[in-house]
Amino acid sequence: PLLTVNSFLIQMPEQLLLVDTGFIGEFPTVGRLLPNLASIGVEPGDIDAILMTHMHPDHEAGLTDENGKAVYPNAELIVHEDEVSFWLDEGAYSRASETVQGYFRLARTALAAYEGRTTQVGADDEPVPGIRVFPTPGHTPGHTAWHVHSGDDSLLIWGDVVHLPGVQLALPDAGVAFDIDSNAAAVTRKRVLDQVTSDRMRVAGVHLDYPSVGRIVRKRDAYGYLPEVWQPIL
């Protein structure tokens, strides 16, 4: 199946934030973040912080250019401490397949490029006022959803809690080959789906189709996705 890959731009009162950076130059139909930002007048130097859901290539490869240099010269990189520990762990690297070892090298390149301006966070931290860590381990050890809240309104940017909504909303136990711990990912997925339906919280997903923001509803023993009604600001 085709897989959507999204990043999210958040305008705060005094900061401009990104959640994940996607690819740059890896595949012909992705890697459009920079031109899309330019189309609304945002340059890489305008980004103040980048909130990472995790360090898989489709989320972090856009942090650096082909020379391993930081694409976002002024941005603080914010990532869960367990995620950093995993991708820097030599034992985990040696046990990984050749393909996944490539993921390790990409993650390490990105972390090195932002050395000195990386903030490691833990459970319930709020590195930016109004945006809180929502731990979602399993897909990777430090996989993080970001809970954006203001008054009674909230949005959960859940990263890769769901990859294939047509499958995993009907069968939340179904994992994907990229899960580091499929059992933990399934436990996380069911917990998150239950919470966002109970709390009627909007969600945004890196792999949810356009507009990529909506609500999750219960459908007997499964779940469904209702995308937000979307229109441009006139």
In a domain, 166, yes or no: yes
**Considering the domain boundaries, does residue 3 fall inside one?**
no
* pTM of the full structure: 0.95
Structural domain tally of the chain? Answer: 1
CA 75 to the chain's CA centroid: 16
**pLDDT tens by residue, 209-234:** 989 999 999 998 899 999 998 766 54
| Residue 231: per-residue pLDDT | 61
What is the reported pLDDT for 152? 87
Write down the pLDDT at residue 25. 63
69: Cβ–Cβ under 8 A, 6 or more apart, which residues? 113
Residue 45 lies inside a defined structural domain of this protein: yes
Regions of the chain short of the pLDDT cut 70 = 1, 25-28, 231-234
Instruction: Please enumerate in sequence order all residues whose Cβ is within 8 A of that of 195, keeping only pairs 6 or more positions apart, or say none.
Output: 201
Residue 234 in any domain: the answer is: no
In a domain, 187, yes or no: yes
Distance CA 67, CA 123 (A): 33
Q: Say if 184 falls within a structural domain.
A: yes
Instruction: Quote the pLDDT of residue 234.
Output: 43
Question: Range of 142's domain?
Answer: 8-227
Distance, in Å, from the CA atom of 96 to the CA atom of 119, rounded to the nearest integer, reads 26
pLDDT at position 220 is 86
Q: Check: CB of residue 135 under 8 Å from CB of residue 123.
A: yes
Question: How confident is the model at residue 210, as a pLDDT?
Answer: 87
**Residue 233 included in any domain:** no
User: Quick check: is 154 in a domain?
Assistant: yes
* CATH label of the domain that carries residue 27: 3.60.15.10
Write down the pLDDT at residue 232. Answer: 61
